[in-house]
A and B are shown apart, each in its own frame.
Chain A
Amino acid sequence: MRNIVAAPRPPLGDAKPMLDAQTHFEQIRDRLPGDLQARAAHLAAAEAVGLPTRRVESWHYTDLARLLKSGQATPVQAVDFSSVDAVLAHFEDGVLQAPPQAEGLEIAPFAGAISSAEAPSSAYVMAPAHVMADYNQALAQNGLLAEISGPLAPPLVVRTSGAENVHLAHHIHLAAGAKAVLVDDHMATGYANVVWDITLGEGAELTVLRSQQAGHQVGLSRVSLAAGARYKSVAMVSGGALARHEAHVTLKAAQAHAELHSAVLGHGLSKASTHADFTYTIEHQAADTSSNTSAYNVLDGHARGVFQGKIIVRPDAQRVDAQMQTRAMMLSEGAEMDAKPELEIYADDVVCAHGSAIGELDRDALFFLRSRGLDEATARHLLVAAFLEQVTSHIDETGLSEIMRGLVDTKINALLGNPSI
């Protein structure tokens, strides 16, 4: 893999524009497309509630206001997707550089985040009401409105870069039978509030690969799956002071299948440490639906990993199969992992399982590898890579899996070479 090293950005400072959304709105309102009044209403609704505090259950482990003030300049490396002939939608400081073009892909001009009322299809899941989504609807300066009508041959890379505070609202719709791979390449060093509304028609298949290397991101994905649709998300957080990845996945009809896998390589000391939070609600509304979730966290320094996974099985959703796994490898005393799986099951004929294991690097495995000639650094690298491979192995596309493995490798080198970066 070739990496382009971008110049380190200046520190985020105290993230005032985010904490003061009203001022931010005034500053950028002239540049915002769409209905300003509707935006103002969303802002008022958001401000009435305010940023989530730790008293909000799903934010218990993620103190947003504090984390927005943390962080320091991190060098980010542009991942090179040239080997897979991707089409690129590059948002630099919120500005789309050029609309992506490919057969089967239609891009509509952005005219503000779409609210429930004006959603083009009832399939959009706009619920649940979400204060961060309100902020997003008020402030979104851009977003990708993509309609994918058939099999999309090239992967669609959505790259987010820059140091400014951005709000992006993406809508991705896959028509029945459509198939696509989307890469969410997050290398922005500023604050980003990103909402992904994703709807999959009957039998549609979407794979989303995510990488976050830096910055403060509050991401919200709302995904709905029609009959036979398949959604797979494979996420890799390798840096950033805040990586909140929240997903609400609704399996609406039979044979819908969702998979969410995440890998975290957290590092850094005190305010420069990674905070990676994956919070999911997976709702099985229909019978014969399935989901599979796994979270692998490698945590060094003062890094913190959070995993909250709630599986809901609605009363008539029989024969649901839902699996959830959390694993953490703690490389330092100062690291922390909070894992909270939850099951809410209202049907009786279901198979749901969750497991959680938190441990250190396996000393016996380390000795075994050294006894086979690997020096300690190589053995540690191999064990960390093997651990995270259990996430990257879910990427079926050979070219992309090579790229993601390359990224993981580079990041492990950076981490084990200098664990306190």
Chain B
Amino acid sequence: MSALLEIKQLHAGIPDKPILNGLSLSINPGEVHAIMGPNGSGKSTLSYVLSGKSGYEINGGSMLFDGQELAEMTPEARAIAGLFLAFQYPLEIPGVTNMTFLKTSLNAIRRGRGEDEMDAASFLRLARAKSKALGMDDDMLRRQLNVGFSGGEKKRNEILQMAMLEPKLAILDETDSGLDIDALKTVAEGVNALRSPERGMLVITHYQRLLDFIKPDVVHVMAKGQIVKSGGPELALELEKSGYAEYSGGTEAPAGGREAHA
């Protein structure tokens, strides 16, 4: 079986500041991987570099997605290929409704895959069904994209996008931060609904609790831009108790010791 995502010795950063220092990680189809690690260890940077945000330099290594080198693809080509990032800090875009945005996105991806665009009625049905499953009312589809959404609503909206786009690999960057316990369950259900033998997930989190709902196959500890330890779900429980001190050379903040923010 060939890996869905194969990152080898990835070195990346912003000019004059290396952030990822030889990171390697491999996710097979059907697997859920969790990354935990102290603030500033480079988790979001990894998610941005994988999805193609500008401003980062790649100084070495490779990242193959379905056998294709991501570094050579535009962000939209990566999305069309099936990569999805649920943002740690979702943006507000006034002037465009959630519905219009979702439709534009879905159809851009369908076009990119050589599929027909979805007609308005089917789209509406799908969007309503998916948002209902995530406990979002229709009003949130009509509202401007994330404008005035609460922190938790923004996170749900990211998961709605994921549910609509059905990616092959979803990277969730602290999707659980800012969610109340009920929302956490709903969002986890949304994520679990997408689990399949073909799909993979990379779940970035500070809280072991999320992993009670989204059971990972592998848990990684990231520190200073590298994966420093990998193990099973029990690793997350260990981290919850002992923090990252042993990995980050004395950083005192324990996992989950940070204020949740959305």
Interface of A with B (CB < 8 Å)? 362-365, 367-376, 378, 382-383, 385-390, 393
Check B95 for interface membership: any CB of A closer than 8 A: yes
Given A370-B76, A382-B104, 18 extra CB contacts under 8 A: A365-B93, A368-B90, A368-B91, A368-B93, A370-B52, A371-B84, A371-B85, A372-B109, A373-B105, A373-B109, A373-B112, A373-B165, A374-B104, A375-B76, A375-B108, A378-B104, A385-B96, A388-B95
Q: Which residues of B contact A387 (CB under 8 A)?
A: 95
The count of chain B contact residues (Cβ–Cβ below 8 Å) is: 29
A386–B76 contact, CB under 8 A?
A: no
30 contacts between A and B (CB under 8 A): A362-B91, A363-B54, A365-B91, A365-B93, A367-B54, A367-B75, A368-B87, A368-B90, A370-B74, A370-B79, A371-B53, A371-B75, A372-B105, A372-B109, A372-B161, A373-B105, A373-B106, A373-B165, A374-B105, A374-B108, A375-B108, A376-B74, A376-B76, A378-B104, A378-B108, A382-B104, A383-B93, A387-B95, A388-B95, A389-B94
Question: Of A364, A367, A376, A386, which is within 8 A of B94 by CB?
Answer: A386
Say how far B88's CB is from chain A's closest CB, in angstroms. 12
For the complex, what is the distance from the CA of A371 to the CA of B74, rounded to whole Å?
Answer: 9
List the A residue with the shortest CB-CB distance to B90: A368
Say how far A415's CB is from chain B's closest CB, in angstroms. 17
Say how far B107's CB is from chain A's closest CB, in angstroms. 8
A364–B91 contact, CB under 8 A?
A: yes
For the complex, what is the distance from the CA of A364 to the CA of B52, rounded to whole Å?
Answer: 12
Say how far B98's CB is from chain A's closest CB, in angstroms. 12
Q: Which residues of A contact B96 (CB under 8 A)?
A: 382, 385-386, 389
Check B41 for interface membership: any CB of A closer than 8 A: no
Say how far B50's CB is from chain A's closest CB, in angstroms. 10
Q: Which residues of B contact A370 (CB under 8 A)?
A: 52, 74-76, 79
List the A residue with the shortest CB-CB distance to B100: A382
For the complex, what is the distance from the CA of A388 to the CA of B161, rounded to whole Å?
Answer: 25
Check B78 for interface membership: any CB of A closer than 8 A: yes
For the complex, what is the distance from the CA of A383 to the CA of B109, rounded to whole Å?
Answer: 18
Say how far A263's CB is from chain B's closest CB, in angstroms. 11
List the A residue with the shortest CB-CB distance to B107: A373
Check B4 for interface membership: any CB of A closer than 8 A: no
For the complex, what is the distance from the CA of A375 to the CA of B53, rounded to whole Å?
Answer: 13
Question: Contact mask B116-155 → A, CB, 8 Å, 1/0?
Answer: 0000000000000000000000000000000000000000
A385–B74 contact, CB under 8 A?
A: no
- In the A-B complex, list the 5 residue pairs whose CB atoms are closest, starting with the nearest: A386-B95, A389-B95, A373-B109, A370-B75, A373-B108
Q: Which residues of A contact B90 (CB under 8 A)?
A: 368
Q: Which residues of B contact A364 (CB under 8 A)?
A: 91
Say how far B123's CB is from chain A's closest CB, in angstroms. 14
For the complex, what is the distance from the CA of A385 to the CA of B54, rounded to whole Å?
Answer: 23
For the complex, what is the distance from the CA of A385 to the CA of B101, rounded to whole Å?
Answer: 12
Q: Which residues of A contact B94 (CB under 8 A)?
A: 386, 389-390
Question: Of A373, A376, A390, which is within 8 A of B95 by CB?
Answer: A390
Question: Of B51, B101, B106, which is within 8 A of A371 by CB?
Answer: B51
For the complex, what is the distance from the CA of A387 to the CA of B94, rounded to whole Å?
Answer: 7
For the complex, what is the distance from the CA of A368 to the CA of B55, rounded to whole Å?
Answer: 14
A371–B78 contact, CB under 8 A?
A: yes
For the complex, what is the distance from the CA of A383 to the CA of B95, rounded to whole Å?
Answer: 8
Most A Cβ at <10 Å: residue of B75, B108, B165: B75
Q: Which residues of B contact A382 (CB under 8 A)?
A: 96, 101, 104
Say how far B47's CB is from chain A's closest CB, in angstroms. 10
A373–B76 contact, CB under 8 A?
A: yes
Say how far B162's CB is from chain A's closest CB, in angstroms. 10
Q: Which residues of B contact A389 (CB under 8 A)?
A: 94-96
Q: Which residues of B contact A375 (CB under 8 A)?
A: 74, 76, 108
